Amino acid sequence: MWFGGCWCYRECWVPLIFILCLLWKGNICETVEGFHIETSRTVTVQTSLCVHIPCTFIISNSYTLTQNAKGIWYKDDSVVASKVGFLVPDNPRGRVFLTGDVQKGDCSLSINDAKWSDAGTYRFRIEDGILRFGYIGTKPYVTVTALTEKPDISPIKSLIAGEEVALTCTAPGRCAGTRPTITWEGSINTPAVEDIVLDNPDGNRIYMSNITFTPARKDHTSLLTCKVTYSSDRPRTTSTAISLNVEYPPSLNITIAGVSCYKCYNRSIESRAVTVKEGDSQTMHCAVNGNPQANITWMKGDTIVTSIVSRERLQIELKNISISDAATYRCSAWNQHGNTSRAVDIRVEYPPRRPEISVHGPNGVPLQYVGTDPIVHVPEGSPVSLSCVADSDPPASLQWVKSGQIVGPASPMGQKLQLNLYASDEGIYTCQANNKHGHSNRSITIIMTYKPKAPERYNSSCLRKANLIECVCLIQSFPTASIEWKVNGKSYLSNYTDGNISIVTVQLERVGNSTLTLRRNDGDQQSIQCIGSNANGFLNLQLLEASKENQHWAIMIGVICGVALILLLILAIVLMKHIQKKKPLLMDEHTGGPTVNDSDAIYSNTEITHRTSNGAGMARETQPDDLGPIPEEASTYMNYGEELHYVTIDFSRLKPRAVPAEEEMEYSEVKLK
Ligand SMILES: *[C@@H]1O[C@H](CO)[C@@H](O)[C@H](O)[C@H]1NC(C)=O
Ligand SMILES: *[C@@H]1O[C@H](CO)[C@@H](O)[C@H](O)[C@H]1NC(C)=O
Ligand SMILES: *[C@@H]1O[C@H](CO)[C@@H](O)[C@H](O)[C@H]1NC(C)=O
Ligand SMILES: *[C@@H]1O[C@H](CO)[C@@H](O)[C@H](O)[C@H]1NC(C)=O
Ligand SMILES: *[C@@H]1O[C@H](CO)[C@@H](O)[C@H](O)[C@H]1NC(C)=O
Ligand SMILES: *[C@@H]1O[C@H](CO)[C@@H](O)[C@H](O)[C@H]1NC(C)=O
């Protein structure tokens, strides 16, 4: 019962009906006794749409409606619709018509394709034989408004990219009026559209359109519009737009601040190498586009660094980058529709580390540092190679520097750099390593070792004083030589004292200065040697040579004695013959031997005028490789005419290799007793 709470029946008492009907707002109750109509007081219809105005009426119970009862609706005194009984309306194609069975008291009215002109007051009249009654007190008022009702699009749901979907647009109004045109507008590709008309049992129709398409991810948030156009009168359009929610698997981009991303997104480039500098900081962004939003993870190698649920981006920051940060970093994103990932190879470059130096002697034997400092001792004259390597990325250029000067070749590509040294290349060698990120260096000190030798400009010598012999022995060497004295074949260490001998040794830098003081007993023949030795060899300086002098002296004495004997014999014979004639002679007192002046006689190995730089003008050197006595070729000169004997010895055949051959030695004085 459409009129709900208004209990208006034929049996109603008029006052009751009146009161009840007044209570029901919006309806007009006919108050003439026995006659009554129920309908909407006001009705609103939008242009182009339709409206159904339900209506029932009753007549006085003294009448009964026949089959021929005719219902008539007037608007502004002109008939707009009429109908007899339950037959078809008089104007079946008209826009306004009676829908109900008049005989049964149904006066319902429909207006299709409403026009502005449909607005107004409508009244109903019943005619059945002699019964003619106009329900003038109950006149529904129809208001026509602009078309604002929208089509309906369904279903409203998420679409999935790549999966076909069908949507339906239903035109507003359940009418039997003119069929509207339904169109779709949007950016989707190749939709299929189908119009559908649903006929309702009440004669009304529902106009619909189905659209079938396969959404793509680009369609997400794009608009799809259903437009319904009514063109019975002037064309009027109403439309509904929806924003498509297309779900799709995520895609992602990795961006790194300051690193241009040329072809970053090309699918064929799965992994990109990015070079960063040690100590720098770098932020890597992973921008993810997925619907619904994806879960994102950053992994370093196989380890998850950070992850987040349902976001559009996730970044990781590498701070104070070190070599351990070099790795493949992968950003992965997934939602229920799929997953994706991309990776970036982070390469860490760094300035050269401190170079490593190794030193090799002859035959590639490694030489160790002496002590904790990078000092290496190298035997003089033996080849040495210094090798330098420095870890760096990119490879460092290496070079050797000594005293500010580049020595040897350079290595531009970080390979091991070798420097070969030969004799006398003492000094501090620095290996410098450079790349575009910085430089580093390391130094090594090369010290040459050599066997003991006589220092330049200083000579070892012996000096005779009264009843003493004082010998000074100077020996230069590195490492420090131990100095030993041999007196008449007996060895004495460098610091020694007894009644006859005192030895004091002082070491000054690389020169050892040892002084031997020997109490002299007249008649002793002294042989004094000073021997310096270190790991590289030894030097034997013969400062006094008794045995040779004695031999020479004995030979000389022998010769002299022999000659004297012969002379004496001859003299004796001559005298004997002469004595036979004359008186005998006396011997000369002064021929007993040369007198000796003790005060300042010097035994010296002082070199004669021309010296060479090597300072090797020694009295006599005995070397390991040229041991042996003074060769026979050494010429000996004796001057026996004066009180002194001068002996000159030419050592040209037994000098050390470094000593020029022209050099001459001289025992400047050899004193005879
Ligand atoms: C139109 O779409 C609705 C649901 O969207 C569906 O139930 C109906 O079968 C479709 N009609 C045609 C003819 O495709
Ligand atoms: C990745 O980069 C491409 C090209 O710049 C861009 O079209 C796309 O939207 C980006 N994707 C994301 C998730 O940012
Ligand atoms: C960077 O890292 C290095 C080595 O890990 C460290 O010595 C240095 O102090 C760090 N610098 C800063 C600013 O944290
Ligand atoms: C994202 O992560 C959350 C929390 O771990 C989880 O509940 C959800 O299922 C994940 N989503 C997908 C699509 O895997
Ligand atoms: C990503 O997808 C591939 C294949 O589609 C699957 O094998 C893999 O397990 C997925 N990974 C995640 C994290 O969902
Ligand atoms: C070695 O490196 C230090 C520190 O950088 C620098 O001061 C010095 O000058 C360098 N020495 C050489 C020889 O390159």
> What Å distances lie between residue 150 and 173, 182, 204, 242, 343, CA to CA?
10, 12, 18, 12, 50
Instruction: Spell out the residues 6+ positions from residue 262 whose beta carbon is closer than 8 angstroms to its own.
Output: none
Q: How confident is the model at residue 494 (pLDDT cuts 50, 70, 90)?
A: confident
Q: Give all domains of the chain, ordered by start, each with its CATH number.
A: 2-145 (2.60.40.10), 152-244 (2.60.40.10), 247-349 (2.60.40.10), 356-450 (2.60.40.10), 454-582+597-609+631-673 (2.60.40.10)
Q: Which residue has the higher pLDDT, 618 or 552?
A: 552
Q: Please, what sign has the CA dihedral across residues 652, 653, 657, 661? A: positive
Residue of minimum CA distance from atom 4 in ligand 2: 265
Q: How far is the CA of 320 from the centre of ligand 3 (A)?
A: 6
d(CA 46, CA 111): 11
Environment class of 445 (CB within 10 Å of its CB; exposed 0-12, middle 13-18, buried 19+): middle
Asked if residues 3 and 38 have their Cβ atoms less than 8 Å apart, the reply is yes
Contact 410, 417 (CB under 8 A): yes
> Ligand 4 centre from 294 Cα, in Å?
8
> How confident is the model over 240-249, as a mean pLDDT?
95
Q: What is the pLDDT of residue 212?
A: 96
Residue 334: CB within 6 Å of ligand 5? Answer: yes
Query: Rounded to the nearest 5°, which phi and psi values hold at 567?
Result: -60, -40
pLDDT, residue 264, reads 52
Ligand with minimal distance to 330 CA: 5
218 lines ligand 2 (CB under 6 A): no
Confidence of residue 556 (pLDDT cuts 50, 70, 90): low
Q: What is the mean pLDDT of residues 639-653?
A: 37
Where residue 652 falls among pLDDT bands split at 50, 70, 90? Answer: very low
Least confident piece of the model among 224-238, 305-319, 477-491, 610-624: 610-624
Is the pLDDT at 8 greater than 50? The verdict is no
pLDDT over 80 at 237, yes or no: yes
Q: Which atom of ligand 6 is nearest to the CA of 440?
A: 2
d(C-alpha 242, C-alpha 578), whole Å: 171
Is residue 178 within 8 Å of 228, Cβ to Cβ? no
d(CA 391, CA 166): 66
Residue closest to 399 by CA, chosen among 367, 434, 375, 423: 434
Q: 559 and 551 in contact (C-beta within 8 Å)?
A: no
**Out of 106-110, 504-508, 589-593, least confident range:** 589-593
Name the residue at shortest CA distance from atom 10 of ligand 5. 339
Residue of 253, 266, 332 to test ligand 2 pocket, by largest number of atoms within 8 Å of CB: 253
Nearest alpha-carbon partner for 644 in 588, 591, 597, 590? 597
What pLDDT is attached to residue 233?
Answer: 67
Is the pLDDT reported for residue 669 higher than 70?
Answer: no
State which of 24-28, 136-140, 436-440, 462-466 shows the largest mean pLDDT. 436-440
Residue 671's pLDDT is: 40
Distance CA 260, CA 272 (A): 11
Q: What integer is the mean pLDDT of 302-324?
A: 94
Instruction: Supply the residue whose CA is at minimum distance from atom 12 of ligand 3.
Output: 320
Distances (CA, A) of 241 to 48, 209, 664: 20, 14, 122
Gap from CA of 351 to ligand 3 centroid (Å): 14
Task: Tell me which ligand sits closest to the C-alpha of residue 355.
Answer: 6
Distance 339 CA to ligand 5 centre (A): 6
Task: Look at strands 511-519 and 501-508 and give their pairing.
Answer: antiparallel
Give the whole-angstrom CA distance, residue 619 versus residue 544: 9
Q: By the 8 A CB rule, do 396 and 413 touch?
A: no
The CA-atom distances, in angstroms, between 440 and each of 186, 376, 398 are: 67, 21, 10
Cα 467 from Cα 522, distance rounded (Å): 8
Protein residue with least CA distance to atom 10, ligand 2: 253
Atom of ligand 2 nearest to the CA of 312: 13
Q: How many whole angstroms separate alpha carbon 239 and alpha carbon 364?
A: 94
Q: What percent of the chain has pLDDT over 70?
A: 74
What pLDDT, on the 0 to 100 scale, is given for residue 617?
A: 35
Please name the residue that has the structure tokens 């790349």.
Answer: 435
The larger pLDDT score, comparing residue 371 to residue 46, is at 46
Instruction: Indicate if ligand 6 lies below 6 Å from the C-beta of 401.
Output: yes
What mean pLDDT do residues 440-460 have?
91
- Does 322 contact ligand 3 (Cβ within 6 A)? yes
Measured from the CA of 210, which atom of ligand 1 is nearest? 1
Mean pLDDT of the region 608-631: 37
Over range 435-444, report the average pLDDT: 94
Among protein residues, the one with the nearest Cα to ligand 6's atom 5 is 440
Q: Which atom of ligand 5 is nearest to the CA of 334?
A: 14
Contacts of 276 by beta carbon, 8 Å cutoff, 6+ apart: 282, 318, 321, 325, 346, 347, 348, 349
pLDDT tens digits, one per residue of 175-192: 777 889 999 999 998 889
Regarding the beta carbon of 189 and ligand 4, being less than 6 Å apart is answered no
How much is the pLDDT for 563?
A: 66
User: Which of 353, 441, 442 gets mutated to test ligand 6 (max ligand atoms within 8 A of its CB)?
Assistant: 441
Q: What average pLDDT does range 583-605 have in this prediction?
A: 40
Can you read off the two tokens belonging to residue 424? 């006398």
Q: Which residues pair with residue 246 across a beta bridge?
A: 159
For residue 667, which of 468, 476, 459 has the smallest C-alpha distance?
A: 459
Q: What is the mean pLDDT of residues 65-69?
A: 90
Q: Does residue 608 have a pLDDT over 90? A: no
Residue 304 CA: which ligand is closest? 5
Ligand nearest to the CA of 254: 2
- Residues 270 and 279: their CA atoms lie apart, in Å, by 27
pLDDT at 267 over 90: no
Q: Which ligand is nearest to the CA of 341?
A: 5
Q: Which of 120-129, 260-269, 372-381, 432-441 has the lowest mean pLDDT?
A: 260-269
Return the pLDDT at 626. Answer: 38
| Ligand 5 centroid – CA 251 distance (Å) | 13
Between CA 398 and CA 434 the distance in angstroms is 7
Ligand nearest to the CA of 430: 6
Query: Read out DSSP for 220-272?
Result: TT-EEEEEEEE-SSS-EEEEEEEE--EEEEEEEEEEETTB--TTTT-TT--EE
Q: How far apart are CA 315 and CA 317, in angstroms?
A: 7
Tell how far the Cα of 279 is from the centroid of ligand 6, in angstroms: 21
Radius of gyration of the chain (CA): 68
Q: Would you place residue 544 in the very low, low, confident or very high pLDDT band (cuts 50, 70, 90)?
A: confident
Q: Is residue 118 over pLDDT 90?
A: yes
Q: Looking at residue 660, what is its pLDDT?
A: 39
Would you give the end-to-end CA distance of the chain in angstroms?
172
Band of pLDDT at residue 551, cut at 50, 70 and 90: low
Measure CA 99 to chain center. 85
Closest atom of ligand 5 relative to the 339 alpha carbon: 1
Ligand 4 and 275: CB distance under 6 A = no
Share of the chain above pLDDT 90, in %: 43
Distance CA 60, CA 34 (A): 4
**Measured from the CB, is residue 442 less than 6 Å from ligand 6?**
no
Lowest mean pLDDT among 317-321, 330-334, 609-613: 609-613
Distance 297 CA to ligand 5 centre (A): 13
When the pLDDT of each residue in the chain is averaged and rounded to a whole number, the result is 78
Atom of ligand 3 nearest to the CA of 320: 1
pLDDT exceeds 60 at position 21? no
Cα–Cα separations (whole angstroms), residue 20 to 2, 17, 516: 16, 5, 157
Residue nearest to atom 13 of ligand 3 (CA): 320
Q: Would the pLDDT of 365 be above 80?
A: yes
Please identify, by atom number, the ligand 3 atom nearest to the C-alpha of residue 279: 1
Q: Is 271 in the pocket of ligand 4 (CB under 6 A)?
A: no
Q: d(Cα 191, Cα 184) in Å, to the nearest integer?
A: 9
User: Quick check: 421 and 386 in contact, CB under 8 A?
Assistant: yes
| Ligand at shortest distance from the CA of 337 | 4
Q: Which residues of 567-599 are buried (b: 16+ CB within 10 A; e: fewer)?
A: eeeeeeeeeeeeeeeeeeeeeeeeeeebeeeee
pLDDT confidence of residue 557: 59
* Token pair recorded at residue 499: 């009644």
The model's confidence at residue 99, banded by pLDDT at 50, 70 and 90, is confident
